[in-house]
Amino acid sequence: MANVDPKLRHLAAAIEQSNESWLILGRAGTGKTTLLRLLRRNSRKNIAFLAPTGMAALNIGGETLHSFFRFKPPFQYLQPCKLRGNALRELECVVIDEISMVSPQLLDAVDQSLRLNGPRRDRPFGGVQMILVGDLFQLPPVENKPSDEPGPELLEYHSPFFFSARVFQNWTPRLHELKRIYRQTDSDFLDLLQAVRVGQLAPSHWELLNSRVEPAAIDPQSDEYLVLTTTNWQAQRLNSYYLNALPGKVQTYPARLEGDFPVQHANVDTDLHLKEGAQVMFVRNKTGSWQNGTLGRVIDLDVDKITVEVPRTPKPEYLEVDYEKWEAYRMDYNSEEGRWKPKVRGALWQLPVRLARAITIHKSQGKTYERAAIDLGSGAFAHGQLYVALSRCRALQNLVLTRPVRETDLIVDLRIREWMLSVGID
């Protein structure tokens, strides 16, 4: 990590050297993931890396909140309980990534569990240092029940967002906003993304945004762009149609599993179906070869490996791609060392690619793509969905829309805007 911005290194060091809790907020592409990697690599504290979803937990090499704190279903009625042993008493720090997807009830349950099991019963979160990281303008918490059947557990809160948790009544983390954006550099595109992020588009923003409409980008037999869709059904339909339209035979690459690996949260297919000529996207980094989000074309299929042609300047590169290993972790207390450490709970071997005609906007969060087409279909339906989709590309000229964006696609929860202004963030 030699090229990391010194400001991120300084922030990681400040977190490490203090006992304060922190709330780290930042727009897409501001280095939140890099900051977490610095903490994981350099921290000497007993630290647990957690996330609200399985996919987010895999991305940071951590564990889900529900698993770590042993919350049992049904999760909408969270009941923290006394855990065996005293391992949580040795916990010094908890990192929670993707805080925008954490409900207030879940955060309160974490607080109560740490009070019951942690170092200090009389302190918020048991006196443990909390590091909350995310972007509130990205995807929101997922509700566990139909919206027309409100349960008593949600009626207690002013909003579905973490900052409405009761623990905030007597607990104030140190707020830090990451402002430098690394993913995009064009000022007009950055201005447009910020306008979409907060839901305040001027006529010039609408004109610039909808100048990118190219209906032909959704042609199932063309793969010039990776299509970002709103639903799994749309993505699966496009990928199947595209693969079937290619000539030749399908070859299947089955994943190999070991132990307890949550395949439903993996960013790869358990049975990967490919043909020669298919466009694929790499789903993890490999130093000197490819990056997460790199697109290429399959030119050869072998029994347990493929060859992928990746466009390069001035000439393409041909990469041999073998099975690679993913590991799922749980945070485990080592009583001999007196430390919490990530312990492998299971592993998956698979080719580090997926068919790249289409992917859901939800699964694209945190990723960067060179060229993308946004297919909003019948409409965006979640807070921050349009912003997440638009912010995946480095440049506006590499992004197209399959139809014009409508005002109804621009969904921003005003409660987030009000809270951000209340804490001094524009």
pLDDT per residue as tens digits for the range 134-188: 999 887 886 554 444 444 444 478 889 999 999 999 999 999 999 998 888 899 9
When pLDDT is averaged across residues 50-66 and rounded to a whole number, the result is 86
Least confident of 86-90, 91-95, 333-337: 333-337
Residues 6+ apart with CB under 8 A from 201: 195, 209, 410
pLDDT in tens, 256-313: 999 999 887 788 899 999 999 999 988 887 877 887 778 889 999 999 999 999 887 5
Cα separation, 320 vs 164, in Å, equals 50
**Beta-carbon count within 10 A of 412 CB:** 17
Backbone angles phi, psi at 187, to 5 degrees: -65, -40
Confidence class for position 76, pLDDT limits 50, 70, 90:
low
- Domain ranges, ordered by start, for the chain: 6-182, 215-326+350-409
CA nearest neighbour of 53 among 122, 124, 114, 134: 134
Cα separation, 123 vs 121, in Å, equals 6
Q: How many distinct helices (H) and strands (E) make up the chain?
A: 12, 20
Q: Which residue has the higher pLDDT, 335 or 32?
A: 32
Assign 305 to helix, strand or coil. Answer: strand
pLDDT in tens, 354-374: 998 899 998 888 788 888 999
What pLDDT, on the 0 to 100 scale, is given for residue 118? 85
Tokens 């974490």 belong to: 110
What pLDDT, on the 0 to 100 scale, is given for residue 151? 46
Cα separation, 355 vs 278, in Å, equals 7
What pLDDT, on the 0 to 100 scale, is given for residue 77? 62
What pLDDT, on the 0 to 100 scale, is given for residue 143? 56
Q: Which helix H or strand E contains 39, and what residues bound it? A: helix 32-42
Amino acid at 337: E
What pLDDT, on the 0 to 100 scale, is given for residue 119? 87
In DSSP notation, 348-389 reads EEE-SEEE-SEEEHHHHTT--BSSEEEE-TT---STTHHHHH
Amino acid at 414: L
Tokens 């073998």 belong to: 322
Contact 61, 41 (CB under 8 A): no
pLDDT in tens, 388-417: 999 999 899 999 999 999 999 999 888 998
Across the beta sheet with 93-96, the strand order is: 63-64, 47-51, 93-96, 129-134, 22-26, 174-178
Backbone angles phi, psi at 207, to 5 degrees: -65, -45
Residue 179, both tokens: 């402002």
What pLDDT, on the 0 to 100 scale, is given for residue 74? 63
Residue 92, both tokens: 């010094």
Homologous superfamily of 6-182 in CATH?
P-loop containing nucleotide triphosphate hydrolases (3.40.50.300)
CA nearest neighbour of 83 among 96, 72, 97, 99: 72
Across the beta sheet with 399-401, the strand order is: 358-360, 226-229, 372-375, 399-401
Cα separation, 234 vs 359, in Å, equals 9
Q: Which helix H or strand E contains 322, and what residues bound it? A: strand 317-322
Q: Which helix H or strand E contains 31, and what residues bound it? A: none
From the centroid of its chain, how far is CA 343? Answer: 22
Cα separation, 406 vs 204, in Å, equals 14
Contact 199, 417 (CB under 8 A): yes
Positive or negative, the Cα torsion across 358, 362, 367, 370?
positive
